[in-house]
Structure 1
Amino acid sequence: MYLAAATLLALTAGGGWVPAPSAPWDMLAGARCDFAVHGEPVVDEVVKRVVATDPDGSVRTVAYKGDLVVRVTNTGTGASYDADAGGSALVTYAKGGSQHWKVAGPVLVGFAENGGTLPRGLYIVDGLYTLDISATGYKTLTLQAGSVDPLCARID
């Protein structure tokens, strides 16, 4: 079942938000792109709010929202692209380590070789969709409406 955009927006309204900064990251050649990649937030106004906990008090579901632009750079050539990744998401964390994301808007997602329903790469996924991440890291993207933009090709 897909989450309507209005439902997601309603669940991400209200108070109790705290900053959720994104750290810079590096990927070796072959991990996501054929070349080494560096990612660094150039705009990061993402906030999060716990919306559900388990009976033991552990976090179950977290809402995320806010502007995020990540500069993705080919470290070999210096070519870069500023990727809008400022979507809104509800992420449900399972005890076994899996995650279920309900998303409206753009999010930066990486896929390893044989690690999901998209080929190895870095992508901006935009629209209405779900992303299921198994405990082993396998990612299943179910796009209701939207687009998938391959970032490796933009900075090759």
Structure 2
Amino acid sequence: MRRTTFSSLTVAMTLAAALSVAAPASAAPTSAETAAPGRTEWVPAPTPPTDQPAGARCDFPIHTEPIVDEVVRQVLATHPDGKPKEIAYKGDLVVRVTNTDTDAFYDVDAGGSTIIEIGTDGSQLWHTIGPVLVGVGENNGNLPRGEYRIDGVHTLAISPTGYRTLRMVHGSTDDICRRIS
């Protein structure tokens, strides 16, 4: 129990420190010469709208579309081939999730701060504080199929095949499918 708590606090403190010392976009380095090796400036990271057919996430088809999107990202480190190894994301994000059969919708605050470690095999490890929106397919995660708002302090491991493993340190999950059924 103590080891888990220590690890959880370490992840939370590391993420908070990394995101709090990062300069806002207007104060970020403007050229490769002034940036730390492998680090880039903060740039917009727009969230595209998506459509999922019935059965993919919910029992009905859904459409997700940002209605507030002020997310920015910064590459913190790169692999030897120049591809991103660690990326930080922050900023306000509200996504409207709509049941396209009934037009029922729910606006999801998904503006958490995340550092994503990207493996050379395409795997990802998210270290997150605050809310994010995550879709899980049938038998493709340790959460049942659904579209979730995950809030709090957590990690999310995504395997090269897309399998999602959520490890909640402190927080909650909210199945958006239930809200708009």
Normalising by structure 1, report the TM-score: 0.97
Write the distance in 1 (CA, Å) between the matches of 2:13 and 2:78. Answer: 23
Write the distance in 1 (CA, Å) between the matches of 2:115 and 2:165. Answer: 16
Greater helix percent: which structure?
Answer: 2
Match of 1:18 in 2: 43
Write the distance in 1 (CA, Å) between the matches of 2:165 and 2:122. Answer: 15
Match of 2:74 in 1: 49
Identity among equivalent positions (%) equals: 58
Per-residue deviation, 1:104: 0.3
Q: Name the amino acid aligned to 2:133.
A: L
Higher Cα Rg: structure 1 or 2?
2
Q: Does structure 1 residue 130 correspond to structure 2 residue 155?
A: yes
Match of 1:64 in 2: 89
CA-based RMSD of the aligned residues comes to 1.0
SS of aligned partner of 2:14:
helix
> How many residues are treated as equivalent by the alignment?
156
Q: Does structure 1 residue 38 correspond to structure 2 residue 82?
A: no
Write the distance in 2 (CA, Å) between the matches of 1:154 and 1:91. Answer: 28
Select which of 10, 17, 28 maps to 2:53. Answer: 28
Q: Does structure 1 residue 81 correspond to structure 2 residue 106?
A: yes
Asked which structure has the greater RCO (Cα within 8 Å, sep 6+), the reply is: 1
Contact 2:11 2:127 in 1 (8 A): no
Q: Does structure 1 residue 9 correspond to structure 2 residue 16?
A: yes
Write the distance in 1 (CA, Å) between the matches of 2:14 and 2:86. Answer: 15
Select which of 166, 170, 179 maps to 1:145. Answer: 170
1:86-144 deviation line (CA, Å, top 9, x unaligned): 00000011111111100000000011000000000000000000000000110000000
Moved >6 Å (runs of 4+): none
Write the distance in 2 (CA, Å) between the matches of 1:53 and 1:137. Answer: 22
Q: Name the amino acid aligned to 2:106.
A: Y
Greater strand percent: which structure?
Answer: 1
Unmatched 5+ stretches in structure 2: 1-6, 29-40
SS of aligned partner of 1:69:
strand
Write the distance in 1 (CA, Å) between the matches of 2:55 and 2:128. Answer: 27
Segment drifting more, 110-119 vs 12-21? 12-21
Per-residue deviation, 1:80: 0.3
